[in-house]
Structure 1
């Protein structure tokens, strides 16, 4: 069972990076965290994947005062997704017309939902950004909805100011990702997990 969980974890993380690359190539707007990553990448001249890794590591450091404990999935999330998105961007073609871009965007969002279900369902710990959210909820006593919305609005606004792309994809991702994860997470959740694990949803990177 452990090997199946490990395979599912790393498949999900690689697929997450691939799905992010599809959304980037579509050039119709990204989810809030990726708007932030893209804005930083453009300002710093770094690759998108490098920024994903560095931001993930910095967010993971914020777990220390929140007394969050990372798992194998948490650490792997920081590294694997960034490597996968850069590798995918190196080989993916860039769609030209609007409908091809819209199809690429839609495929990226759906695959992101599948990827999220896979790596969270493997039950090796949440990603660094999800852990930040749950840690803040625990420390502040706020609701998940309020804390998550506050974090995502902050990174979205910051990323937009840095030059990250906000657009149709941003809206479609916000609308679709919750229902998609709601469908795919139960399909991929390992049943031998501890009760409640895998419920911390809504992180690709």
Structure 2
């Protein structure tokens, strides 16, 4: 139980750190990250907050990934809900400063990417599944046999295009984050000495199977 409790703490703290990084890139005012352009556009269209748009998009993406056969982890579900809630908490309470001058904005945007990288390390290292957007990327890579870079670029181009049409904020920061986001994440992983390829994820269906097996064993013992 102690191990599970510590895993939950690390998982939720990781999501909160991710939210801090995302809000830092938003408040840098240099243009949003590709997926956040889509979230802001969805927010403009529906009148909901960016955090709620993040949740709504996450739910839709998880459903789509599931149709492609990608397994869902408990971490995927918690990610889908909590990151958006934490984003709203930070933004609605003005807990992250907003910058309007280029140099401070650039520094905060880059720091935001690094913070986001550490947040991803924290939740991914628990091994309870990736986030909805990464899950979709993995599902499409498996389905199409295309490279991760190709699928990631296509995803982000579609997200930016739809978001921009819906009024999402696009700027030099959008281009920089699309190019540098992966490098900053890899740098954060390197500092944390984290090899994402070594993580063995546990999925929801693994736990369902475990519970079914336990119940079946218990039933057979009773019958004996």
Distance across 2 between alignment mates of 1:113 and 1:21:
13
Per-residue CA deviations over 1:94-122 (Å, capped at 9, x if unaligned) read 33433332333222122111112221222
Aligned length: 196
Larger radius of gyration: 2
Per-residue CA deviations over 1:79-106 (Å, capped at 9, x if unaligned) read 1100010111122333343333233322
* 2:85 equivalent to 1:83: yes
* 2:103 equivalent to 1:99: yes
- Greater CA drift, 46-55 or 176-185: 176-185
Partner of 2:27: 25
3-state SS of paired residue (2:127):
coil
Contact 2:117 2:188 in 1 (8 A): yes
Partner of residue 176 from structure 2, selected from 152, 169, 172: 172
Distance across 2 between alignment mates of 1:72 and 1:155:
25
**Structure 1 unaligned residues grouped into runs of 5+:** 199-205
User: What's the CA shift for 1:138?
Assistant: 1.0
Distance across 2 between alignment mates of 1:108 and 1:178:
13
Partner of 2:48: 46
Question: Aligned-residue CA RMSD in angstroms?
Answer: 2.1
User: What's the CA shift for 1:128?
Assistant: 0.8
Contact 1:121 1:185 in 2 (8 A): no
**Structure 2 unaligned residues grouped into runs of 5+:** 202-224
Distance across 2 between alignment mates of 1:147 and 1:106:
24
Q: Normalization by structure 2: what TM-score?
A: 0.79
User: What's the CA shift for 1:5?
Assistant: 3.0
User: What's the CA shift for 1:71?
Assistant: 0.7
Distance across 1 between alignment mates of 2:89 and 2:193:
25
Distance across 1 between alignment mates of 2:117 and 2:54:
18
Where does 1:52-201 land on structure 2 (aligned, <5 Å)?
Answer: 52-90=54-92, 91=94, 92-185=96-189, 187=192, 189=194, 195=198, 197=200
Distance across 1 between alignment mates of 2:15 and 2:143:
28
Distance across 1 between alignment mates of 2:6 and 2:69:
29
User: What's the CA shift for 1:188?
Assistant: 6.3
Q: Normalization by structure 1: what TM-score?
A: 0.86
1:144 and 1:102, CA in 2 relative to 1: closer, same or farther beyond 3 A?
closer
